[in-house]
Amino acid sequence: MKLKAAIYCRLSKEDLDKECEEQESQSIINQTMMLLDYVEKNGFELYDIYKDDDYSGLYDDRPGFEKLIHDAEARKFDVVISKSQSRFTRNIEHLEKYLHHDFPLWGIRFISLVDNVDTAVKGNKKSRQINALINEWYCEDLSESIRASFKIKQQKGQFLGQSAPYGYVKSPEDHHLLIPDPYAAGIVKRIFHMYLSGIGKDKIGCILTEEGVLIPSEYKRRVLHLNYHNANEKYGESSRWSFQTINTILKNEVYIGHLVQNKCVKRSYKTKEKKAVPEEEWIRVENTHEPIIDEQTFRRVQERLTERHRETNIHLLNEGLFARRLFCGDCGKPMTPYYTKRKKNGERHKCYICSEYKRFGNRYCTSHNIREDTLKEIILKDLQQQAKVILSSESKGRIRAFKCISGSEDRAYKLNELNEELKKIGNYKAKAFENFADGLLNKSEYVKLKENYDDREKELQRKIQKCKGEQVEPEGKADFGSWLENFADNFDVKELTREMVLNLIDSIYIFEDHTVEVNYKFRIA
């Protein structure tokens, strides 16, 4: 019986012989022909060919590689054949994981042709490890050389980004030079002028979205035909212009003809994770390309942004009663306060509405409007009921406190973020199906996307359930229980305070039918 063989090919550099993004490089084609010839001459039965064009061998998040490992674990073939060990991986940790642990466990043999690697031969394990170490050294040296070369080019004012900032394209004659893209440059000018006319960033985003203006990443893909993915779009993207996108454009000096680069660097040649570079180490070169915005306009915008930031900081110092505790029960976004118009008698009320509705209208959520005095009354009554339960004889000594989390680790915020991402995944799945139906994705691309989204959806649902049921024995549990009993024993207050909200309440959800769901930081066991 013939052994089933899987062929793996990889190349990490863009090739001059590629005429378009979709075309395979000549090197990949040559690797495939060499390996097919080996399979035929050695009596193997070809199972499948796995390819990664323009992917580094240092990382294992390569589409073809991931599918190969998935099929290997499922025992769909017996042998993996590659041109060289370095084509399979340049990372010694991955060598140990796959060639020396997982593959033997799954009954998979690995062969590479040019360096005579064969895991069926017991005696060449050390040579495989030495090869991997040399490959890592090569990558480390290459990384340092490239970094030094990049720094010199940045200091000369050459643009080194993968794609040009929105509003620009790379010059066909010199890919390190930015030139304005007439259409997108016009949108950038509109954004600056709208902001100076008093229109807020959220409103600017709404206007562009309602007009059907493509967001920058989508514009680069659909109009400029670039293989572009924003770092924040790991699982897809929204078609809305966001507050953050508008804010980034308004602050970017590239629009007045200056380049500011070297803002972040990789933590290590072995990881894609990046770290921020201190501002004093940024490389800033003026007048490197044609500006879209004049310096006076840009300066006025920066002054207004600074003033607005100062106002925001003052507002945060006077944090509201329900700040960081109040959320929309349907979309999970925070509720935002506003005041009703004054009546003839001068009376007006503080209310809360869904921030998603306020920013984008009823296309994305409904108002969930509720008056603060109504909400305070509901919370106070519920707290009074909780106090009675706490003081009842059968509940004494059985108070369990949830872990009290503060700042960015607030459990309610964590749950909100997970629900937000889950909602996005649903939108991405729907959009992927639309693209498949419209012929923008072929069947295999759609199936792969759907599988990825399904896996992520399951993972998020698991995390949400874990977060909802998270109950721990925090430090100072006894103190908290005593404090809680003392609070309940003296609960005769008529006014809800910020201290009470922070100490007792984990999150509050408001639903469209005015149902209020309160999650406390304690539970009567």
β-strand pairing of 168-170 with 109-112: unpaired
Distance CA 281, CA 419 (A): 38
Domain-by-domain residue ranges, the chain?
4-146, 168-308, 321-469+479-524
Mean pLDDT of 42-70: 89
Least confidently predicted of 72-81, 215-224, 338-347, 392-401: 392-401
Q: Phi and psi (nearest 5°) for 11?
A: -145, 140
Contact predicate 405/485, CB 8 Å = no
For residue 408, pLDDT beyond 50? no
Terminus-to-terminus CA distance in the chain, angstroms?
63
Over its C-alpha atoms, the chain yields an Rg (Å, rounded) of: 29
Within 8 A by CB and 6+ apart from 414, the residues are 405, 467
Tokens found for residue 218: 């989508």
Least confidently predicted of 155-169, 250-264, 302-316, 417-431: 302-316
Tokens found for residue 421: 């991402």
**Which pLDDT band, with edges at 50, 70 and 90, does 500 fall under?**
confident
pLDDT digits (tens, 9 = 90+) for 150-183: 788 888 999 988 889 999 999 999 989 999 999 9
Q: Phi and psi (nearest 5°) for 170?
A: -80, 140
pLDDT of residue 68: 94
Beta-carbon neighbour count of residue 107 at 10 Å? Answer: 9
pLDDT of residue 121: 81
Within 8 A by CB and 6+ apart from 522, the residues are 399, 400, 401, 402, 480, 484, 504
* Residue type (1 letter), 326: L
For residue 409, pLDDT beyond 50? no
Residue found under tokens 């003839």: 344
Better pLDDT: 140 or 52: 52
**Which pLDDT band, with edges at 50, 70 and 90, does 327 fall under?**
very high
| Range of 123-132, 296-305, 440-449 with top mean pLDDT | 296-305
For residue 20, pLDDT beyond 80? no
pLDDT of residue 266: 67
pLDDT exceeding 70 applies to what percent of the chain?
A: 73
Mean pLDDT of 356-384: 87
Better pLDDT: 426 or 401: 426
pLDDT exceeding 90 applies to what percent of the chain?
A: 31
Contact predicate 385/361, CB 8 Å = no
- Please tell me the class of the 168-308 domain: alpha beta
pLDDT of residue 407: 36
pLDDT of residue 225: 86
Tokens found for residue 237: 């993207």
Better pLDDT: 270 or 362: 362
Mean pLDDT of 100-125: 84
Counts for the chain of helices (H) and strands (E), in that order: 17, 19
pLDDT of residue 187: 95
Q: 149-183 in b/e burial notation, b at 16+ Cβ within 10 A?
A: ebeeebeebbbeeebbbbbbbbeeeeebbbbbbee
For residue 219, pLDDT beyond 50? yes
Distance CA 176, CA 261 (A): 13
State pTM to two decimals: 0.47
For residue 447, pLDDT beyond 90? no
Give the CATH number of domain 4-146; options: 3.20.20.70, 3.30.210.10, 3.40.50.1390, 3.20.20.30: 3.40.50.1390
